Structure formats: C-alpha cells, structure tokens
Amino acid sequence: MNDYANITQITLLVRRLDIGTKVIRVRQHSQENQLFKYRKYLSYPPKEKVKLARANMDGQPMFYGAVFSNFCINDNPRLTCLLETNKEVLDDTFVGKKDLTYSLWLNKREINLFVIPVFDSYPHPAKDFEWYYELWKELMQDDRINKEQINVLKELSRHFSLTGEKKEEENSYAYTADFTTHLFKTHPEIDGIIYSVRLKEEGIGVNVAIRPEVIDDAFELKACSVCRYFKRNKRQQLILNYKHSRFRQNGKIYYVIDREFYRDLDFKNTEYDFKTLQFKY
C-alpha cells in the first residue's frame, strides 16, 4: 500500500471527458430472447453479484466501458467491449451465436479519469496511451518522479496489461483492484480510471472504469441495442444490430427489430476482418 501512496502523491495525469462524451458498455445475455428493460440492468451490477475484476474487489460494483480514441478515427469501442467480455471471439473452438446488449451513456458534467501508464507491457497500445506515455516521460525527465515510483508504475502497467490463465489474471486483478480502491479513497476528485488492455487487435482499446455513484449522478443512458454475434469459424464471424431501443416516459425500455437485420444476414458467409466491422452509434 505504501507503493500506491507514492504513486498517488505525484502529479496525476488526467484525461477529462467533456460533457456529452460517448461511453459504450456491453452486457451479455444469459438466455435466449432476454431483454433488459430498465437502466439498472444495463449499468453496473449489484454488489452481491460482483466478483474480483480489473478495478474492483469482490462485492465492490464498478462501471466498465470503452470510449472513442482521440487519435484513431477507426477506433471502435463496441469492438473493444466485445473482445474484452467475450472470450468466444478469439476461441477457435467456439461455433454458434450469442446475443449482447450494447448501451450508450453520455456524461452530464466533466469526468476526470486517472491515466494508467503504458510501458513495454504493451507492444501496440492505442495511440492515446502512446501520447500519454510521452507526458509521463516529461514528468520523469523533470525529476518529478523518482526511480522507485517509476518501478511501481511499471509494475502497475504490467498488471493492467496482463491477460492469460485464470489464476494469473486473478493475481493481477488483486493488485490492480487494490490500487484503484486506494486511488479512489485518497483522491475523491478522480471519477475513474482510463487504461489500455493488451488485445489481439493492435492499436485499439480505450477502456474506462468509473465509480458507480458517478454513473448514478452524472451519466444518462441515451440508447441501447441488442446485437447478435455469429461465428462459423475464426474467419467467418459477424455481429449485427438486431433490435434497437425506445424509451417510455416512465423510463422503461422496449425494443424494435432493426429493419436492416435480415437484409444484412444475406452477407453472413462473407469473411470479415474484425477491424472492418461497422457499428452504428
């Protein structure tokens, strides 16, 4: 914990989300024809269902999502969410279909996110983090960060980047969740963190983890859509908008079939590069 204290005493690099920034979140369906009809089912989960994850301890809710890159016009937050939450996408043995609900959230005030640095843990990070790293280097060169703090930052970066065996991931989650808990406790002005994950697709992935109370007070659920993911093999994969949302005055959500869904199914035998998949926001 003293290591964390050393980090949080240095000048914090913060990315500020301007009012109206799009934050994308996804929730997997647990059964066929499932629909999430209220905001609470698309937001962070209740504490009794929360397990240890990258930025939270057991029983500690956290809102995870993705935002658009400031530098890459081809960045796709829905793809980031898909790769982060669905291991079937990269599992060559999986064949079938899955339903997912994506939700679009807009902030009503500026949001301050602490930037998790990247070092050599990320061979091809999103461009945003390469730019942030240049700012971290300025702090190092100006002697505003000592060698001990740099080593702790590198260790933090390594744990945030780690993906692999379940036991290895759990050990890293314990480290990163402990750090995030300490950060939020000592810096109430920080609303969340922004970090990169080492995904198979190079140069994408701008992830956020935001305090649940900030979501409740400062974010609006703007839209959501049910998407259907199809996979025949690792080269024949497709994800389509299946249903999109409408909101009643009482806040209840209902869904209507996307008019282009069945037309798009005509192309389901085409081979797709994931980076070329198009989503509507």
Rounded to 5 degrees, what are φ and ψ at 119? -130, -140
Sequence-distant (≥ 6) Cβ neighbours of residue 223 within 8 angstroms:
103, 104, 244, 245
CA 196 to CA 117: how far, in whole Å?
9
- For residue 120, give the DSSP letter: T
> Strand ranges (DSSP E) for the chain?
14-17, 22-28, 63-67, 96-107, 111-115, 192-195, 207-210, 219-231, 237-247, 253-257
CA 188 to CA 186: how far, in whole Å?
6
pLDDT (tens place) for every residue of the chain, 281 residues total: 456 666 666 666 788 999 999 999 999 999 888 999 999 999 999 999 999 999 999 999 999 999 987 766 666 777 788 877 888 887 888 888 899 999 999 999 999 999 888 876 666 777 787 777 787 777 777 767 777 877 888 888 888 877 656 667 778 899 999 999 999 998 999 999 998 875 555 556 789 999 999 999 999 999 999 988 888 877 777 788 899 999 999 999 999 998 877 666 655 454 545 444 444 44
